[in-house]
Amino acid sequence: MKVLVIGGGGREHALIWKLKQSPRVEKLYCVPGNGGISDEAECLPGDVKSVDSMLEIANRIRPDLTVVGPEVPLIAGIVDEFQKREYPVFGPTKAAAQMEGSKSFAKLFMQRHRIPTGHYAVVTNKAELHSALDHLSAPVVVKADGLAAGKGVVIAKTKEEATTVALEMLSGKMLGEAGLRVVLEEFLEGEELSFLVMSDGERGVPLVAAQDHKRVGDNDTGPNTGGMGAYSSDKIVDPQMREWLLNHVARPVIQGMKTDGMEFKGILYCGLMMTAKGPMVLEFNARFGDPETQAILMRLDSDLVDAFEASVKGRISEGDFKWSPDPAVTVVMASGGYPGSYEAGKKIYGLNEAAKVDGVKIFHAGTTKRDGEYYTAGGRVLNISARAATLPDAVNLAYDAIMKIRFDGMIYRKDIAARGLRATK
């Protein structure tokens, strides 16, 4: 079969790598792909933000399965348009993708279906803002309602700061249309958890749990990023908590979406805070997380094509997945200056030596390939992923590989999976 993957980051490279292992896949395409993906799939130029551009490619290659990586095409309605033309596509419809596209939609949905989340208020002007802040105590989490490429969340230490940030969002100067509606939330404390479930619109099957590292610096310092690393191990969530999350979060979302006439197929990403009062939902995404996917797929020992097809055809079950008990870790190597401004076009050295480290797979996130050499082309450049019998071994393998790689200005965190390592001691 012919498979098309839409996207060009580390998540998509991991998906390509796993899909390529299926004996059913004869031809892999990726739009637009990147330097590393070009070694494993045929990369095609195209604008992933344009549904028309994606349709033009699909009409040309006629894929037997399309997998959508990023959120923007999902929220733009790519699944609806592919379905109209009877192209099998993995992911939620435009209506269902609102769960990620609008934070106020998600909050109202959770309130309606009694899914645990923090106290909140939705505001659209200065008067509503001042009224809402009277009912919240500092610190206050200020979120742009729409997509803001990871820049739409600010933890304001005081109400004065919350007011300043919210007004800047509402003015449209900070984030454009994404901030014209703002969600204010109570600040929740605890350990964050990424809990992903694959849905066929009726049922939901959990993937192995992971933990993301959002801040740019060691010990969770510095600004938030798209993610600087992740790890996955069976110790993150015990079987009892896994069942609780399925029964009180994931399945109520899937059933609630169906009841509301917005059947949710694809990946439901539940971003959770494990608070002293119990798990609370921070956010939902309508697709695989990045870089959690890289660590999660390192542990998958079954055919990903079969699982995607089961979701598309409405017949998913736990039997579609076989997981390794071995932990996995992913460390992001980024350009100096990320998540702010950075320079691209830096030559990358040592990839061949790093790839020889046993148990390691290098996923490219922001690279280009010219004349057989790789160059930086994004904020997040490489994802060094490793799987081993123990978490300390997986961490050591990933950092062993990193020590063999270099490019000008490269940065990476040196404490990925530190919480998990502390737990093993």
- Residue 425 pLDDT more than 80? no
Mean pLDDT value across the chain: 96
Same domain membership, residue 316 and residue 404: no
Same domain membership, residue 196 and residue 302: yes
pLDDT at 151: 73
pLDDT at 170: 93
| Helix-strand-coil split of the chain, %, nearest 5 | 35, 30, 40
- Residue 370 pLDDT more than 80? yes
Same domain membership, residue 293 and residue 206: yes
Same domain membership, residue 366 and residue 399: yes
- CA diameter of the chain: 60
- Residue 64 pLDDT more than 80? yes
Length in residues, the chain? 425
pLDDT at 107: 96
Q: In one letter, which amino acid is 346?
A: K
Same domain membership, residue 267 and residue 302: yes
Same domain membership, residue 300 and residue 344: no
Q: Name the strand (E) or helix (H) holding 360.
A: strand 360-364
Same domain membership, residue 220 and residue 176: no
CA distance 303 to 317: 13
pLDDT at 53: 97
What percent of the chain clears pLDDT 70, i.e. is strictly above it? 100
pLDDT at 148: 80
CA distance 415 to 68: 31
Average pLDDT over residues 24-53: 98
Same domain membership, residue 67 and residue 164: no
CA distance 394 to 402: 13
Look up residue 231 and give its two tokens: 């790890």
- Residue 143 pLDDT more than 80? yes
CATH code of the domain containing 269? 3.30.470.20
Average pLDDT over residues 40-62: 97
CA distance 4 to 257: 27
Average pLDDT over residues 313-326: 94
CATH code of the domain containing 77? 3.40.50.20
Lateral strand order in the sheet of 182-186: 120-123, 182-186, 140-144, 153-156
Q: Which residues contact 383 (CB under 8 A, 6 or more apart)?
A: 10, 13, 14, 291, 294, 330, 331, 332, 333, 362, 363, 364, 365
Residue 100 domain flag: no
pLDDT at 106: 96
Q: For the residues of 294-347, what is the DSSP string, one character each?
A: HHHHHTB-S-HHHHHHHHHHT---GGG--B-SS-EEEEEEE-TTTTS------B
The conformation of residue 35, written as its DSSP 8-state character, comes to T
- Residue 150 pLDDT more than 80? no
Same domain membership, residue 216 and residue 163: no
CA distance 281 to 258: 20
Average pLDDT over residues 257-285: 96
Residue 192 contacts residue 212 (beta carbons within 8 Å): yes
Residue 65 contacts residue 305 (beta carbons within 8 Å): yes
What percent of the chain clears pLDDT 90, i.e. is strictly above it? 93
- Domain range for residue 151? 125-180
Same domain membership, residue 419 and residue 339: yes
pLDDT confidence bin for 232, thresholds 50/70/90 = very high
pLDDT at 142: 94
Domain boundary among 268, 290, 320: 320
Domain boundary among 293, 320, 347: 320
pLDDT in tens, 164-216: 999 999 998 888 888 889 999 999 999 999 999 999 999 999 999 999 999 99
Global confidence as pTM: 0.95
pLDDT at 223: 87
Same domain membership, residue 292 and residue 219: yes
The conformation of residue 147, written as its DSSP 8-state character, comes to -
Cβ-based neighbour number of residue 217 at 10 Å: 15
Chain-centre distance of CA 284, in angstroms? 10
Residue 159 domain flag: yes
Helix, strand, or coil (residue 3): strand
pLDDT at 42: 98
Residue 398 contacts residue 362 (beta carbons within 8 Å): no
Residue 106 domain flag: no
CATH code of the domain containing 153? 3.30.1490.20
Same domain membership, residue 316 and residue 195: yes
| Ramachandran angles phi, psi of 399, nearest 5° | -75, -30
R_g over Cα of the chain:
21
| Ramachandran angles phi, psi of 268, nearest 5° | -100, 110
Q: Look at the chain and report how many structural domains it folds into.
A: 4
pLDDT at 174: 83
Cβ-based neighbour number of residue 343 at 10 Å: 11
CA distance 366 to 407: 13
